Structure 1
């Protein structure tokens, strides 16, 4: 069992030239944990004293400044999680931040250049590369892609048709078994034997995603997406099977409705997005308080699906994406505050091993036959199945 708190990282998005950049500083002293200081600009309005705080300091495991490339992000954040998944532990990587701060770019990547690939394609490449090296075990990989839009779940990998709109996709529903394990009904699992097959599934899912143009971002993702890689492995002849799953989560952008000036459909979406992020925050606050008996996982679909990842059997990492332009300073501070709360949560990751009963029966039958043959060799006579009454008595 591995006990550890949720790891938090920060990534600063490069600013557009036209926008005024907020002032911040990154302190990476080798002895201390790296900290990010956001300095608030002082409005020296006509003569009154401004008593607002001037700066905020937040601690992270590591802070990636504007120059950090996708390769660096993968090596530092996703690779350790992928390694633990290959070893049989569950893993989760969450991207959280305001609209337009670079969550989707970090998780999925940019489409223009190969070097812009994000965490999902790089993780798939890494996992398949490791599986090819390890020829002594038998592996199977399955992939699912769930989208949560306006509190409804949709299967982005529905094989039956090319969706013209999200509402055509099958609705995914949640049910709980007596052991309180969450099961997702209508969410298809697709086997991927190679990296190419897995990337095709990712591409198909991304094509079906709900994306809309908002004043803050031309291609804002209006939903939470959870891309899951299910790995199971066993050694030939062994009855023990290891299962592990890796959730890669791109949360929808948190935003202040008044600031983005949206209405109609976008306003409805923003309400649902903010509500589900609010429920996520409630779960996180409840988990970071020591003596809370009830954790409100059931309030929203996303917190139900991520129950294991938050305070459960999982190694979880969160990336806080920050857009430190002057107009976004408030949002960035609230993202950092949220990350600090997340960092207080402890997870207990357990190795997911189980014995396959069918394989166990085959092994035992084989062992019985070997023992019978051995016995026949020693006594010189082939045994009949049933013992006589005298033998039973003896």
Structure 2
């Protein structure tokens, strides 16, 4: 489980308890955050990679060198000074930048995926949020890296390969129940659009539903009108990806014949739950293709393309401002709200996320300045620290069912009290009413008869080791003692005494008369037993009857 980035605690993937099973006797999820932090939080800086785009036939390569080391790689770009005019030029000639790894012009798509996207996908399956975004100038290979090319199957980018890897892992893991959903957001000219909305057949981008940003009191971002589409397998997810790509805003520019004129965020939502476990894990993986930065004076665009370029450069400028603010240690305010893109990527930049950046570089001699600018941006991003937290919570369905059950029990108690008092309750119950309700519930005939049966069985049992188990309820214990006391004090008159007292000793008395007298005495004895039993019941229910009389008087 996501070992390239972190080492998950033992048992954290299969239990809602701490790595030792329990901390004392308190479940792990109920512990304070500071006590859960060692097992559920990962702190690390954003990992930054660089990828060099292959040069075209008519392009002239700039002067650069790549130094691959074990822990990191470095890229050195040389810009010769221009001394043609004879003026003194003190401009730097050499620029050196460090990256986690640099992929040269011959790097294949599968190698890029295994090094960059696979570790983040593994962490997303384990319950951590992840983000992969590509940054670079127009025509430097961002879309090819993220989405891929359409000519060959081997040219698939990070998004289709990530989908294939995730669903392959889900099929192998039979210990959990997984649910996957995808969303596709496009930010064009600072307006968000849902590229996967099935209710709209859009011929234009403006026909798609607009997505708006909403923020809750805990400063969590929610995207209104952004649909979540269920994807149960790789084929369904890829079809949704292709549907969204067909709706993207693409135009031809001097630097790129098919330039993406918007920022696109493809998000994979994963939920996992073990059968029988009360906890559920949620994670989301953002795969971001940013629009390319470009110098308007250099590209010479005008009209509609010029307006698009202004919005693109402005949003990238706000992104850079957020990066600079996060890199400053004593900065209290981070300007996330300046643009829609920085608001959506709030967690990805300095928040609860494992983030990776790919800097795409075009080392054509004409684009050296833009490549240096991209490398500088990447160095600032590498200073940002994120705190990724395991997104684990109690299953909302269990909580919802528990709430429904408690509400049903409360309503049943209210209905029972209404039946006794004859009044419909609209306010909270008083302490006296709660006490009355408790006694009414306990001293119902059903419960009393059940106790009577237990006591009689106990008295009739001749086994010396037999016991009378009525639990720890003091009301039941007191009732049993009262019952036994009344039964013990009940007058006992044997048949012989009755006969000797009421039947005369005259020898001439017939047997028929004696039998008739005996029958009458037995009926009298049974009547007395019933009267004593009724008196004992009245004594037991004295408290209940007192309250009932009080309520009847109030009525």
Long gaps (5+) in structure 1: 366-375
Query: Which residue of structure 1 lines up, in the alignment, with residue 63 of structure 2?
Result: 23
**Count of residue pairs brought into register by the alignment:** 380
Query: Which residue of structure 2 lines up, in the alignment, with residue 308 of structure 1?
Result: 347
Contact 2:127-2:391 at 8 Å conserved across structures: yes
Contact 1:140-1:233 at 8 Å conserved across structures: yes
RCO greater where, 1 or 2, for CA within 8 Å and sep 6 or more? 1
Distance in 1, matches of 2:256 and 2:378, equals: 23
Long gaps (5+) in structure 2: 1-40, 406-453, 455-465, 481-555
Shift of 1:380: 9.5
Query: Which residue of structure 1 lines up, in the alignment, with residue 166 of structure 2?
Result: 127
1:9 is aligned to 2:49 = yes
Distance in 2, matches of 1:320 and 1:248, equals: 14
Q: Deviations over 1:272-292 (max 9, x none)?
A: 001100110111100000011
Shift of 1:160: 1.5
Query: Which residue of structure 2 lines up, in the alignment, with residue 389 of structure 1?
Result: 475
Q: Secondary structure of 1:218's partner? A: coil
Shift of 1:53: 1.1
Distance in 2, matches of 1:362 and 1:294, equals: 41
Distance in 2, matches of 1:249 and 1:380, equals: 72
Q: Which has the higher helix share?
A: 2
Contact 2:193-2:211 at 8 Å conserved across structures: yes
Higher Cα radius of gyration: 2
* Cα distance change on mapping 1:106 and 1:389 into 2, 3 Å: same
Distance in 2, matches of 1:259 and 1:39, equals: 21
1:278 is aligned to 2:317 = yes
Contact 1:239-1:360 at 8 Å conserved across structures: no
Shift of 1:153: 0.2
- Which residue of the other structure, out of 253, 263, 281, is the alignment partner of 2:292? 253
* Cα distance change on mapping 1:37 and 1:360 into 2, 3 Å: same
- Which residue of the other structure, out of 95, 98, 101, is the alignment partner of 1:56? 95
Q: Residues 184-199 of structure 1 correspond to what in structure 2 (within 5 A)?
A: 184-199=223-238
1:341 is aligned to 2:380 = yes
Q: Secondary structure of 2:257's partner? A: strand
1:72 is aligned to 2:158 = no
Q: Secondary structure of 2:281's partner? A: strand
Q: Residues 202-351 of structure 1 correspond to what in structure 2 (within 5 A)?
A: 202-351=241-390
Shift of 1:356: 1.3
Q: Deviations over 1:356-377 (max 9, x none)?
A: 1432577999xxxxxxxxxx9x
Query: Which residue of structure 1 lines up, in the alignment, with residue 73 of structure 2?
Result: 34
* Cα distance change on mapping 1:391 and 1:380 into 2, 3 Å: closer
1:105 is aligned to 2:191 = no
Distance in 2, matches of 1:228 and 1:179, equals: 22
* Cα distance change on mapping 1:267 and 1:233 into 2, 3 Å: same
Q: Secondary structure of 1:217's partner? A: coil
Structure 1, 43-52 or 266-275: larger mean CA deviation: 43-52
* Cα distance change on mapping 1:282 and 1:304 into 2, 3 Å: same
Contact 2:470-2:476 at 8 Å conserved across structures: no
Deviant stretches of 4+, over 2 Å: 41-44, 46-51, 357-365, 379-384, 386-394
Distance in 2, matches of 1:205 and 1:326, equals: 35
- Which residue of the other structure, out of 170, 175, 180, is the alignment partner of 1:136? 175
1:162 is aligned to 2:201 = yes
- Which residue of the other structure, out of 116, 136, 139, is the alignment partner of 2:155? 116
* Cα distance change on mapping 1:383 and 1:97 into 2, 3 Å: farther
With normalisation by structure 2, the TM-score equals 0.66
* Cα distance change on mapping 1:391 and 1:99 into 2, 3 Å: farther
Query: Which residue of structure 2 lines up, in the alignment, with residue 172 of structure 1?
Result: 211
Q: Deviations over 1:276-311 (max 9, x none)?
A: 001101111000000111101011000000000000
Query: Which residue of structure 1 lines up, in the alignment, with residue 461 of structure 2?
Result: none
